[in-house]
Amino acid sequence: MPSFSAKQLSSHPTRRTILFVVYPDVKLLDLAGPLQAFNDASFDDGRPAYKTAVASIDGTEVQSDTPLAISSDRLEDWKRRHIDTLIITGGSGARAACKDKKLLNMVSKLAGKSGRVGSVCTGAFVLAACGLLDGKRAVTHWESCNRLCEHFPLVKVETDPIYIKQENVW
């Protein structure tokens, strides 16, 4: 579990907000793993380092790739709220999400106001569909790298890294 020093605590007086974007058939692990890690992170004094939230286009329960549904806020409700990091989750539903104009428009708007933007595995397809990876190095799940390259030729797809950070995009 990450911990922050007293020096870092004084430079980070408030929790940072992490917003996870989900859609139908999201890979539960792509949400649950990072969500748990951010929820467990705390400052030395025990205060949570992050405030996390989950949002979808409609703000309804979203069916994951397991029997579990995920509660979510409406993405629209985040237009005027502060977001430090926007994370797009992956899963088999990413293909349909890449064609959802309303979702792509909202992700683009929220990405433009977020300090950092990232994706987990095939969530990279949603970022690419928004044009947020154009001209940038990117990676996705190894089984999907060729498909990302084929569908989004402006993205510089790399196959070996576990993650890539370029500018504010992870």
Beta bridge partner(s), residue 16: 50
Q: What is the spatial distance between Cα 154 and Cα 134, in angstroms, rounded to a whole number?
A: 5
Q: What is the spatial distance between Cα 137 and Cα 80, in angstroms, rounded to a whole number?
A: 30
What is the largest distance, in Å, between two alpha-carbon atoms of the chain?
48
Q: Which of 98, 121, 145, 149 is catalytic?
A: 121
User: With b meaning 16 or more CB within 10 Å and e meaning fewer, what string describes 69-82?
Assistant: ebebeebeebeeee
Active site residue 149: no
Q: Which residues are catalytic?
A: 121
